[in-house]
Structure 1
Amino acid sequence: MNNTPYSIHANPDSIPVIHSNWYPPAAVTEKNLQYAQILMPDLAAAVSEMTTVHQYLYQSWTAGSNYNKESGKLDSRALHKNIRRVIQRIAVVEQHHFTIIGQLITLLGGQPECRSVEPCSYWRGNMVDYSCDIRTVLATDAESEKFAAQAYADQSQKIKDPQVSKMLARLSLDEKLHYKIFSDFLSQI
């Protein structure tokens, strides 16, 4: 991974939001409902790909935008526009992760429902952090990505199916990259 800090002043489309390693195919060695259950929270629990996608989309529309009561207009600095664009691009990667996790759960023999492991704990919109403050957004996102990177790394060790394990390790690389981007941006605000 690049050790040079990612600049909030850079062209937002020039910042890599996906790790350079190829994704392995979404595959399993054999069905395993226990492994499918391990992955269920990654799909659509409070801390999940589904929540992350929705949160990042919301942030790509609103982060750093403040309503100016005096002028009656929305104040959105160009710098925040760059950050919102990077968040929007990361949301697309997280949506890809959401798809991969759903495919793995299905291949493992599970039902990729939008809930955590608990039967009646379906995903809800109030799981999204609706903050617009740019510092809060970047700090929250960095923490979320750090958690996701570690969770995928841990699951890749816990799950003994080499196909699933390889994919989880690969997803962890994207999350580490996102953590670095958000951390670097936060240090420049």
Structure 2
Amino acid sequence: MKSDFIDLHENYSLGLPYPKIEIAEKNPTYANLIKKSYAGTISELTAVSQYTYQGLVVKNAIGNILKKIAEVEMHHLEILGELIVALGENPDFSINKKDKKLNWTSKFICTCNSIKEMLLEDIKNEEEAIRQYRKTANLIDDENIIAILNRIILDEELHIKILTNLYEREMSK
């Protein structure tokens, strides 16, 4: 039954606490590394926007699930923004690439036509986000920041499971 499926996914976050936002010292280099996951092509801002868009155009249980995932991604966005401020940088929606400021754009979101395409794109983006978080964690020497990134990864892994389950249900139709 569809309602059984939805009940299985009432939680779109693991429900584990997020580490407190504490940093060893201000560090613009770390802030700029984190900004890629905050407002880059594959980022929390992109995820919030993409899931919100999809939730608006998909008018069924899947759309509602995508909106709930967007809420978790918004929490991640807030956490990263707070980290960026604590590290001494501006949480504007941009990244620095080769000494150039690049602003976030809605061109980063996928406006796919079918639910199946949307879900495949979402799964791919969640996987890429995890790779990006791991790469960032490997470049940072601050255990608390690493713990925060690892906690966010746990939610992203849950999202992959939820999205994969949704995709498999769509494929079986």
TM over 0.5: yes
| Structure 1 counterpart of 2:6, from 12, 23, 31 | 12
**Structure 1 outlier segments of 4+, above 6 Å:** none
- Percent identity reads 29
After superposition, the Cα gap between the structure-2 partners of 1:29 and 1:132, relative to the gap in structure 1 and judged at 3 Å, is same
CA contact (8 A) 1:8 1:188 kept: no
| Structure 1 counterpart of 2:57, from 54, 62, 69 | 62
Q: Which has the higher contact order (CA 8 A, sep 6+)?
A: 1
Matching of residues 72-151 of structure 1 within 5 Å: 81-118=60-97, 119-151=100-132
CA contact (8 A) 1:8 1:83 kept: no
Letter of the 1:98 counterpart: L
Q: Secondary structure at the match of 2:89?
A: coil
Where do 5+ consecutive residues of structure 1 fail to align?
1-6, 64-75
Measured after TM superposition, the shift of residue 144 of structure 1 is 0.7
Cα distance in structure 2, aligned partners of 1:12 and 1:115: 36
Measured after TM superposition, the shift of residue 13 of structure 1 is 5.7
- Alignment deviations for residues 72-94 of structure 1 (CA, whole Å, 9 cap, x no partner): xxxx5xxxx11111110000000
Measured after TM superposition, the shift of residue 153 of structure 1 is 2.6
Cα distance in structure 2, aligned partners of 1:13 and 1:156: 34
Cα distance in structure 1, aligned partners of 2:130 and 2:15: 16
TM-score between both structures, scaled by the size of structure 2? 0.89
User: Which shows bigger deviation, 167-176 or 42-51?
Assistant: 42-51
What's the counterpart of residue 41 of structure 1?
36
Cα distance in structure 2, aligned partners of 1:140 and 1:121: 23
Aligned residues: 167
Where do 5+ consecutive residues of structure 2 fail to align?
none
Letter of the 2:4 counterpart: A
After superposition, the Cα gap between the structure-2 partners of 1:31 and 1:120, relative to the gap in structure 1 and judged at 3 Å, is closer
Cα distance in structure 2, aligned partners of 1:126 and 1:113: 17
Cα distance in structure 2, aligned partners of 1:110 and 1:188: 43
What's the counterpart of residue 21 of structure 1?
16
Question: Over aligned residue pairs, what C-alpha RMSD do you find?
Answer: 1.7
TM-score between both structures, scaled by the size of structure 1? 0.82
The alignment status of 1:153 with 2:148, answered yes or no, reads no
CA contact (8 A) 2:42 2:128 kept: no
